[in-house]
Structure 1
Amino acid sequence: MHVLRVGFNYKTTPLETRETFTFSEDHLSQAVKQLAAEKSILENVIISTCNRTEIYVVADQLHTGRYYVKRFLSEWFEVPIEDFALYLQISENEAATQHLFKVVSGLDSMVLGETQILGQIRDAFLAAQKAQTTGTIFNELFKRALTFAKRAHHETGIGAQAVSISYAAVELAKKIFGDLKKKHVAIVGAGEMGELSAKNLLGAGVGQMTVVNRSLENAEALAKTFGASSATFDHLPSVLKQADIVISSTGSQEPIITKEMIAPVQMKRKGAPLFLVDIAVPRDIEAEAGQAENVFLYDIDDLQHIVDDNLASRQAAAAKIEHMIDGELVLFEEWIQMLGVVPVITALREKGLAIQAATMESIERKMPDLTAREKKVLQKHTKSIVNQMLKEPIKQAKEMSACTKREEALNLFIDIFGIENEVRTILDKQNYKESETLNSNGGSHISFPFLKHLPSK
C-alpha cells in the first residue's frame, strides 16, 4: 500500500492551467467519490485552492495509482493527459507525506507561514471523510498533519509577523495605537493595495473606515465591500481631520497629501496623533508632511525593512518546523509498521479471552453453588493468567513489525497460535482490503499490502 501526491501548484503551473484544474466546493464530494471508484485507489483526499490542486491517494500499487489519478483528472476536466502532464507533480510515500506536512504548515505557500491553508486542508479532509473516501491510513495521517501544523505555528510563531506591505502597515498601526476598534482609518486609493489594506484592517477589528478616491464610483464600490463610507479627493482635508490612520496607495504622479494640507488639519485636530502610511510609488505623501507635530509618516521603504526582517524571522522558524517534520515522519512510519501487528495482537487477545470466558462457563456449570464473590475472584485470576501468558508473545509480535521479512514472520506467528480466522475477521471489519495467496506448502497466507513499501529497521 502506497501514499501518492499528484497535483499542480503555483511554483510550476501557470495560473490559467491552475484555473482549469480547480475543483469547485459544490462538486468536491462527487469528485472524491468518482476517484474512489477507480481501480487501485483505496483512499483519497482532494485539496483545491487558488494556488494549488493536489490529490492525495492511498493506492495498492504505485504505477497503477499514478495512472488512475491522471485518468481521473483527464476525465473530470475533459483535458487529454498529454496536455497537462508537463505541469503535474508527483511524490510517493515518505516524500508525499513530507509534502503534506510542509503544505499544511504553510512552508509551501506563497506567503511563508500563512495559516489559511491549514483551514483549507482541514475542510478538504472533512469533506473526504463525509464522503467516506478516507480510511485507516488517511484518517490518521491528516489528523496528525493538522495537529502538528497547529503546534508548529504556536511553538515557532512563524505567522506572527507581517510579510506583506499592506499587512505590515496595519501591524505598525496596531503597535502605535494598540486596539483599533475605536480608530478611524482612511484608505486613499481604491486599487489593489487599498483593497488589501482594507481587508487587513477589517481583520484587525478597525472601528470606522473611509475610502477616498479620485473617482467616487470606485470609492463607493470598494467601500460597499467593507461596510465603509466613501469620499473624493476634494473632501480629503475633511477626512484627514476625522481620521487617526491614513493608508495611501494611489497611482498619482504627484503628492496627494502635502505639508500645506497637514498643517491646518493638525491645528483643527488639536494635536491628536495622525499616523500616515504611504505605500505608493511614486509617493502620495510629501516627506515634509511628517515633520508636523504628532504626525508619524512611514513610506514603502520603511515598511519593506520591516517585511525583510520579519521574513528572515519566518525563514528561521520554517527551518525549525522542517526539523520538527522529520520527527513526525519517523513517528508516522512507526505507526504504519504497527498496522500489520495490531490486528494480529487483537486477534490473539480475543482468542485468549474467548478461552477464558469458555473456561469460566465450564466452571460455573460444574460448580453451580459458587457465590458472586467467588465468581468475581475466579474471573479476575483467570484473566490475569491469560494476560501474563500473552505478554511475551505480544512483545515479540511488535518486534516483528521492524524485521526484514515482517509479513512472513507475522504469518508464522498466526499459524503458531492458530488465529487465522480471527485475523481475517478483524481485517474485514477494518476494511484493510487484504488479499489471500497460497504459500509454498499450499496453505493460505495473509497479505498486509501496506507493509510492503516500508523499510525495515
Structure 2
Amino acid sequence: MRIIAAGLNYKTAPVEIREKLALSEQEIADMLAGLRASKSMMEGVILSTCNRTEVYAVAERKEQFMLDLAYIMERKFNLSKEQFAASFYVHEDNAAVEHLFKVTSGLDSMVVGETQILGQVRDAFLYSQSLPATGAVFNRLFKQAVTLAKRLHTETRIGQKPVSVSYAAVELAVRKIGALAGKRIVVVGAGHMSELAVKHMQARGADRIIVINRSYDRAAQFAGRFGIAASSWETLPELLSEAELVMTATGAAESVITADMLRRARLNRSEPLLMIDMGVPRDIDPLADELDGVTLIDIDRLGAIVNENAEARAKEALKLTPVIQKERNDFALWMKELGVAPAIAALREKADAVRESAYQDMLKKLPELDERERKVIGKLTKSIVNQLLRDPILNIKELATGRGGEAAIEAFTRIFGIEEETRRIAEPDAADADGEDDMRNAIA
C-alpha cells in the first residue's frame, strides 16, 4: 500500500486554476466514487478550500492512480494535461504523511499557523468517512493529524498573532482608505470569512457595515450577532452606488458582482470604491479593476500583507519540524505493524479455536463440574494460551518493522500454519467487521 497526496495550492496554481477545483460535496463524492471504481484507490479523502485542492489516497500503484486522477481532472473539471502537470504536486508515503501533518497544523497555509484549515481537514475526513471512502489507514492517519495540530496550537506560539486572509484584507483596507469609522461598508456573504472580516473591521472602528446575502434570513441572523444592518439581495446595485468599501466572500460558482453592474453604480457617484474579493471562485468580475475610481483586490494580491504579519509564525514553524517528523515516524511504524496485524489476528483466532475445542471436550468428559469450576478452568486455559502467544507476537512485531519484514511475516504464517486465515483477514473484500476488529486488537 502507498499513501499519496496529490494536489495544487496557492503556491503552485493561480486563482483561475484553483477556482475550477473549488469542489462541492457532491463533486467530491462523485470524484471519490470514480477513483474507487477504477480500482486505483482503496481509501480516499479530498480536501477542497479556497487555497488548495488535494486528494489523499491509499493506493497500490502511484502511476495508475495519477493517470486516473489526471483523466478525471481533464474530463470533469476541464483542466488540461499541461495545466495538471504544471500545477499538481505529488507526495508519497512518508512525504505524504508529513505534508498532511503540516497542512493540518497550518504550516503550509498562506497564513502560517492559521487554525481554519484544521477544521477543514477534519470536516473533509469526516465527510469522506461518511460516504464511506476511508478505512483503517486513513481513520488512523487523519485522527493523528488533527490531534497533532490541536496540540501544536495549544502548546506553541504558532497561532498567537492574529493573521488571516480576512485580517489581511482589513489591514489593506485601512491602508488604502484610512480609518474605517464612518465609512460605508458592504459585506457580501454571511459565511465564516465574512464573519472574521466583520470582527476585524469592528475592532478597527467600523460602525456603518451592511451585510447582504442571497438568503435574507441568514443575512439578518448574521447582522444580529454583530449589531450591524442587513439588506436583501435585490438591493446590491443600490448599495454598490453608496459604498466606499466592499468585501465579498460568498462561495458562489460565478461572479455575483459584474463589471456592468459596477458601471451602472459608478454613474451615481464620484467617490472612489475599494473592493476586496476574498472568494474562490472569485465573486467580483476581474474587469472591475479597469473601471475608473474602482480598486479591486483579489485573494492572491492579499499575499504580500499576509507575509508581513507572518514572519513571527514562520520562525516558530521552524521549531516544529522535529515534532512533525517524530509523528511521521510514529505513523510509519504503525503502518509496518499494520502489515503483520492479519497474521497476528489469524494466530489468535486459531489459538482460540484450539483452546475452545479442548475446553468443550474436557467439559463433556467431566460433567460433574459446577459453574464456578468451569469458569476457573476457562480462565486458566485462556491464560495459558495468552502466555504462549505473548513472545511470538512481540517478536514478529519487532521483526516485521525491520529489514526483511515481509519475509519474516511469511515465515511466521508458515510456521503456525495460518497462511489461509491471514489472507482471509487481510483482504478487505473478504474480511467482515470482526476481522477488522481483530486487526485493530492485534495492533493494540
TM-score by length of 1: 0.67
Counterparts of 1:198 and 1:410, CA distance in 2: 55
Shift of 1:95: 1.1
Shift of 1:65: 1.9
Whether the 8 Å CA contact 1:162–1:307 is kept in 2: the answer is no
Q: What residue number does 2:403 align with? A: 404
**Change over 3 Å in CA distance of 1:20–1:170 after alignment to 2:** closer
**Change over 3 Å in CA distance of 1:130–1:353 after alignment to 2:** same
Counterparts of 1:392 and 1:88, CA distance in 2: 47
Map 1:42-81 onto structure 2 (within 5 A): 42-81=42-81
Whether the 8 Å CA contact 1:48–1:54 is kept in 2: the answer is yes
Map 1:99-138 onto structure 2 (within 5 A): 99-138=99-138
Q: Structure 2 unaligned segments of length 5 or more: list them.
A: 172-179, 214-218, 231-238, 240-270, 274-303, 433-444
Q: Which has the larger displacement, 76-85 or 33-42?
A: 76-85
Whether the 8 Å CA contact 1:400–1:406 is kept in 2: the answer is yes
Q: What residue number does 2:208 align with? A: 211
Q: Structure 1 unaligned segments of length 5 or more: list them.
A: 172-184, 213-218, 232-249, 253-303, 434-457
Q: What residue number does 1:154 align with? A: 154
Q: What residue number does 1:23 align with? A: 23
Whether the 8 Å CA contact 1:141–1:332 is kept in 2: the answer is yes
Structure 1 or 2, whichever has the larger Rg, is 1
Matched, 1:10 2:5: no
Shift of 1:60: 0.4
Whether the 8 Å CA contact 1:163–1:311 is kept in 2: the answer is yes
Q: What secondary structure sits across from 1:210 in the alignment?
A: coil
**Change over 3 Å in CA distance of 1:346–1:166 after alignment to 2:** closer
Whether the 8 Å CA contact 2:18–2:51 is kept in 1: the answer is yes
Shift of 1:350: 1.6
Deviations 1:244-267 (A, max 9, x none): xxxxxx969xxxxxxxxxxxxxxx
**Change over 3 Å in CA distance of 1:430–1:393 after alignment to 2:** farther
TM-score by length of 2: 0.68
**Change over 3 Å in CA distance of 1:92–1:197 after alignment to 2:** closer
Whether the 8 Å CA contact 1:102–1:108 is kept in 2: the answer is yes
**Change over 3 Å in CA distance of 1:187–1:399 after alignment to 2:** farther
Shift of 1:49: 1.0
Alignment size in residue pairs: 345
Q: What residue number does 2:425 align with? A: 426
Deviations 1:272-328 (A, max 9, x none): xxxxxxxxxxxxxxxxxxxxxxxxxxxxxxxx99996x6343223212322210110
Q: What secondary structure sits across from 2:38 in the alignment?
A: coil
**Change over 3 Å in CA distance of 1:189–1:387 after alignment to 2:** same
Whether the 8 Å CA contact 1:187–1:198 is kept in 2: the answer is no
Q: What residue number does 2:299 align with? A: none
Shift of 1:431: 6.5
Match of 1:188 among 183, 187, 190: 183
Partner amino acid for 2:128?
A: A
Counterparts of 1:50 and 1:369, CA distance in 2: 73
Q: What residue number does 1:320 align with? A: 319
Whether the 8 Å CA contact 1:211–1:220 is kept in 2: the answer is no
Counterparts of 2:16 and 2:206, CA distance in 1: 35
Identity %: 41
**Change over 3 Å in CA distance of 1:425–1:103 after alignment to 2:** same
Whether the 8 Å CA contact 2:9–2:18 is kept in 1: the answer is yes
Shift of 1:330: 0.7
Matched, 1:348 2:347: yes
Whether the 8 Å CA contact 1:156–1:320 is kept in 2: the answer is no
Whether the 8 Å CA contact 1:105–1:153 is kept in 2: the answer is yes
**Change over 3 Å in CA distance of 1:361–1:167 after alignment to 2:** same
Matched, 1:415 2:410: no
Counterparts of 2:165 and 2:18, CA distance in 1: 26
Map 1:239-258 onto structure 2 (within 5 A): none
Whether the 8 Å CA contact 2:110–2:306 is kept in 1: the answer is no
**Change over 3 Å in CA distance of 1:202–1:91 after alignment to 2:** same
Whether the 8 Å CA contact 2:424–2:431 is kept in 1: the answer is no
